[in-house]
């Protein structure tokens, strides 16, 4: 909750084991003050991180013979693909994953993170992904969707706050969508938004 100095821990404390941070590390360059780290991965950001426990001896002068011991990963984490890619390419990669028939009885299926690059929202995306994973020796844990970066010259969103009072709800929706997805909203989505805006306005008038 607070940022404190390593000097806050009294010198008589031979070993201080701190929690919450997943990756083991020393504090203030001192061997005796450490974040212990988690013994197993808790996030896909720890995909290539070697989790560990520490072995050491307590002596009269402190701790000695510190030795990290790597903790084997019992449930692997898999990321497909390594970089965000268009959906058709991702589906092809998913189809190459091993089938459930290859699962060894004493092993758990890996957890899977999927990285997809989209140019617009796809309401049925998860269903499509789950369809491609049917019969696979895998457990879907996360779908990480990324959209093209906003262009510096794109000013659809830039001055919207200044002119918000002059814009209709449909214009606000259209500009926000264009700023995020680099393309105008689909006609059907615009129609549904307009319908929802009319119903909301009618309900407000009745209230």
Sheet architecture: strand order including 139-146: 77-86, 111-117, 139-146
Task: For residue 110, give the nearest of 83, 72, 136 by alpha carbon.
Answer: 136
Q: Does 65 lie in the same domain as 14?
A: yes
In a shared domain, residues 29 and 83? no
Classify residue 151: in a domain, yes or no.
no
Sign of the Cα torsion 36, 37, 38, 39 reads negative
Residue 104 lies in a domain: yes
Q: Which domain holds residue 181?
A: 164-206
Cα separation, 31 vs 84, whole angstroms: 39
Residue 185 CB-density burial (10 A; 0-12 exposed, 13-18 middle, 19+ buried): buried
Question: What residues of the chain score a pLDDT lower than 70?
Answer: 1-2, 103, 105-106, 149-166, 182, 204-207
User: Strand pairing of 62-70 and 52-59?
Assistant: antiparallel
Q: Tell me what pLDDT residue 161 has.
A: 53
62 and 81 in a single domain? The answer is no
User: What six digits make up the tokens of 30?
Assistant: 């001192």
What is the maximal distance between C-alpha atoms in the chain?
Answer: 79
Nearest alpha-carbon partner for 126 in 112, 107, 109:
112
Domain assignment present for 155? no
Residue 100 belongs to a domain with what CATH number?
Answer: 3.30.160
Residues 131 and 179 in one domain: no
Asked whether residue 188 is domain-assigned, the answer is: yes
140 & 89 share domain: yes
pLDDT tens readout for residues 134-167: 999 899 999 999 887 655 444 544 555 556 666 7
Q: How far apart are CA 85 and CA 130, in angstroms?
A: 17
pLDDT at 93: 94
pTM of structure: 0.64
How far from the centroid of its chain's Cα atoms is residue 149's Cα?
Answer: 18
Nearest CA-CA partner of 97 in 83, 85, 109, 107 = 109
Q: Is residue 43 part of a domain?
A: yes
Whether residue 63 is contained in a domain is answered as yes
Looking at the fold, whether 14 and 45 belong to one and the same domain comes out as: yes
Closest Cα to residue 117, out of 151, 94, 83, 93?
A: 83
Residue 152: the pLDDT is: 44
Q: Identify the three-state secondary structure at position 149.
A: coil
Residues 47 and 88 in one domain: no
- How many domains are there within the chain? 3
99 and 141 housed in the same domain? yes
Is 1 within a domain? no
pLDDT of residue 129: 95
């Amino acid at each position: 909750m607070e940022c404190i100095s390593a000097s806050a821990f009294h010198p008589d404390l031979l070993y201080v084991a701190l929690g919450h941070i997943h990756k083991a590390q020393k504090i203030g360059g001192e061997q005796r003050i450490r974040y212990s780290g988690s013994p197993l991965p808790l996030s896909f950001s720890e995909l290539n991180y070697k989790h560990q426990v520490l072995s050491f001896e307590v002596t009269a002068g402190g701790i000695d013979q510190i030795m990290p011991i790597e903790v084997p990963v019992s449930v692997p984490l898999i990321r497909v693909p390594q970089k965000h890619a268009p959906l058709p390419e991702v589906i092809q990669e998913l189809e190459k994953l091993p089938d459930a028939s290859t699962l060894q009885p004493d092993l758990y299926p890996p957890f899977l993170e999927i990285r997809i690059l989209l140019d617009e929202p796809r309401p049925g995306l998860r269903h499509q992904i789950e369809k491609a994973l049917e019969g696979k020796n895998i457990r879907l844990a996360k779908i990480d969707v990324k959209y093209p970066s906003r262009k510096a010259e794109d000013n659809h969103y830039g001055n919207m706050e200044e002119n918000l009072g002059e814009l209709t709800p449909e214009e606000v929706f259209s500009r926000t969508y264009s700023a995020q997805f680099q393309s105008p909203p689909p006609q059907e989505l615009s129609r549904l938004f307009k319908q929802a805006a009319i119903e909301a306005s009618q309900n407000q008038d009745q209230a």
